[in-house]
Each structure stands twice: as structure tokens, then as C-alpha cells.
């Protein structure tokens, strides 16, 4: 059983996701990286993400509060990560199926606990 919610470093298996992003788009001259601010992190299928304006889900680096869109080249800085991210993760990782490990901003810890109880997750 996977016991952590993936952030960009875990998902891409590197401590320098920015470098991986630069290498990935180097051979795609039609992509010109732009920067966007004000994104809010959520959890989707066991991954901390932000939704890009292009429709892609971008894995969030929880340490840098940054995400990179490998589809359109947008770099998200200053991502808002919930102060209780560790508590959110602790409740989500109790769920055996990754596709059920989801959290959206505004959803409380009590709501996550209720969902767990309703689905027989202790």
C-alpha cells in the first residue's frame, strides 16, 4: 500500500523538478515558459496538483510551492498549500484505492474523516 501522497519530487523522482522541466521542454520550441501566481493546491488521485489553465494537472513541489505544466509551459509560483497538509495526507492514505484519495480546498478534516467512516475506512 502506498503510504504517502505524491508531490512533484516523488512523482518525478527528482529533487530538481525545475531542471527536469527545462530538459523536457527544450526540444519543444513552440513552448515558451510563462509564470502564473495564485494557484491553490488540491489532491487528485493521491497527487498534490494545481489545475493549469490549459486543462492539465500539474504536480506541486510542496517545499518550493511551485508547479510546472509539462503541456503548455506555465510555471506556477507561490502555490497556496494548506497549513494542515500533513493531516490531510494522514486521512487520505488510509484509503486503499488511490483514485479515492482526493481533497479540494475548503474541504475540512472533519469532512474527510466522515467520508472515511462512511466508506468503512478506519
Question: Model pTM?
Answer: 0.88
Task: Quote the CA–CA distance of 4 and 64 in Å, as a whole number.
Answer: 18
Do 50 and 90 meet the contact criterion of CB atoms below 8 Å apart?
no
Task: Quote the CA–CA distance of 89 and 86 in Å, as a whole number.
Answer: 5
User: 28-52, pLDDT tens digit by residue?
Assistant: 777 777 777 889 999 999 999 999 9
Q: What pLDDT is stored for residue 98 in this prediction? A: 96
Say if residue 68 is exposed, middle or buried (CB neighbours under 10 Å; 0-12, 13-18, 19+). Answer: buried
Phi/psi for 44 (5° steps) reads: -135, 120
User: 52-79, pLDDT tens digit by residue?
Assistant: 989 999 999 999 999 999 988 899 999 9
Amino acid at each position: 500500500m502506498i503510504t504517502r501522497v505524491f508531490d512533484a519530487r516523488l512523482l518525478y523522482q527528482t529533487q530538481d523538478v525545475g531542471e527536469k522541466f527545462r530538459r523536457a521542454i527544450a526540444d519543444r520550441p513552440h513552448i515558451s515558459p510563462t509564470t502564473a501566481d495564485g494557484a491553490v493546491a488540491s489532491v487528485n488521485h493521491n497527487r498534490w496538483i494545481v489545475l493549469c489553465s490549459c486543462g492539465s494537472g500539474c504536480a506541486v513541489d510542496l517545499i518550493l510551492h511551485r508547479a510546472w505544466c509539462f503541456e503548455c509551459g506555465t510555471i506556477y509560483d507561490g502555490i497556496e498549500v494548506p497549513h494542515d497538509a500533513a493531516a490531510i495526507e494522514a486521512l487520505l492514505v488510509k484509503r486503499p484505492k488511490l483514485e479515492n484519495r482526493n481533497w479540494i480546498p475548503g474541504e475540512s478534516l472533519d469532512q474527510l474523516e466522515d467520508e472515511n467512516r462512511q466508506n468503512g475506512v478506519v
